[in-house]
Amino acid sequence: MERLCVILLLVSKTFIANAQFNGFNCDANFHSRFPAERDISVYCGVQTITLKINFCPVLFSGYTDTDLALNGRHGDAHCRGFINNNTFPTVVLFSISLNTLESCGNSLVVSTAHGPNAYGNLSLVQIGNIAGYIDTPDPPTVISYLPGLLYKFSCSYPLEYLVNNTQLASSAAAISVKDSNGTFVSTLNLLLYNDSSYIQNLAIPMSGLTLKTRVFAAVKATNLDRRWNVLMDYCYTTPSGNPNDELRYDLFFGRCDKDPQTTVFENGKSQMGRFSFEVFRFVKHKNQKMSTVFLHCVTKLCRSDDCPMLLPICGKRKKRDVSERSGGASDNAVITAGPIITRSDETPSNISQLAQLNGPPFKMNSVTSALISAIAILAVMSMCFFILSMSLLRGKQTPATSLSGSHNPAFS
């Protein structure tokens, strides 16, 4: 009899759970429980933050999708999620735009700390942290038999570094916390232009750019919230596309060191950093007709008021491989452009000397041969004409000379 009662109780619970999940993609065997940490997923995007909440435990707890809202804004329809029943399990989706994240009470906190970047350059590092929560409303009564649901989330965006900060803090079965990391690096591009108007992209001819040609470069942010400006921390060149190449030439390091041929036009004042430099060749390419130059920039994102104080600290630097990470920092935003192909224009005398010493024998084409032959024929004809003229002139002068030289006997 007792076994029969237990079986009936289990069947009744299963029937009630199935009825409770009716119409939604839920499994009573797995979802008849209160929410847990695994029930919320956070995707930190460039323009939006997307939250996915497993709806089945919400149903089991006695709530509907309209009871979930961002930061207690239950009266604002824009702060509620929407059901997606095309997945298993059914989820409630929330989409938070970074342009209007404060409208539903989400907070943005930018923290600043001293630290070295990937190259050992001491500077101030910033992290943008966006945080909020999703909860259910409190009943208008003194007591309630329903558990209060609370989902906490946060996204940490590197403004040069990615910081892994995944702390879990839960005080009850109905509280879920999810921290995640995002990155703005996909919004950054390093572009090359022909002139200071920064309109037409640089066109590199097949033969390469002439040495000392001025190239205009820009680190540009696209599809990024307007609150962030671009700050070029350190720009340098390498002969290969590897930013960790041991051989490199620095163009500028913040406001501390700058190549004499490099001019910085704008840095940290908008979503575009601009500078120019004269192209050169790496000496290691001395036996090549063309030299390749790759441009790299370590870039930060900062609020307009913070950008000036985030420039590197002068006099405290050393070069270090990108793979050598420090402390809790990783994934610096190193933007690369290239290759910039330059050519070595030798002088005619140098080319002649190289041809005589190292090059193959000089070969004339048909036009040159014909021209040299014509000049030789003209020279021979001129010489023959000169000899003939001298002979004729000497023949005319010979009789007068013999008459003037003969003896006259009448004067003896």
- Taking only the tens of pLDDT, the chain with its 412 residues reads 555 443 444 444 444 445 567 789 998 888 888 888 889 999 988 888 999 999 999 999 899 999 999 999 999 999 999 999 999 999 999 999 988 888 899 988 888 766 655 455 556 677 888 999 999 998 888 888 888 899 999 998 877 632 222 222 222 224 455 566 677 777 888 889 999 999 999 888 888 888 899 999 999 888 888 888 989 888 999 988 888 889 999 999 877 778 899 999 999 999 999 999 999 888 888 777 788 888 988 888 888 888 888 876 666 554 444 443 333 333 356 777 767 877 765 544 443 333 333 444 444 555 566 667 777 777 777 777 777 777 776 665 555 444 344 444 443 4
The whole-number pLDDT of residue 153 equals 92
The whole-number pLDDT of residue 354 equals 33
Distance between alpha carbon 120 and the CA centroid of its chain, in Å?
20
Torsion of CA 392, 397, 399, 403, to 10 degrees: 180
The whole-number pLDDT of residue 214 equals 93
* Nearest CA among 116, 336, 117, 343 for reference residue 237: 336
pTM: 0.59
The whole-number pLDDT of residue 179 equals 60
The whole-number pLDDT of residue 303 equals 87
CA distance 280 to 212: 6
With a CB cutoff of 8 Å and minimum separation 6, the contacts of 266 are 272, 273, 274
8 Å CB contact between 122 and 88: no
Query: Is 67 buried (19+), middle (13-18) or exposed (0-12) by CB count in 10 A?
Result: middle
The whole-number pLDDT of residue 371 equals 66
The whole-number pLDDT of residue 184 equals 76
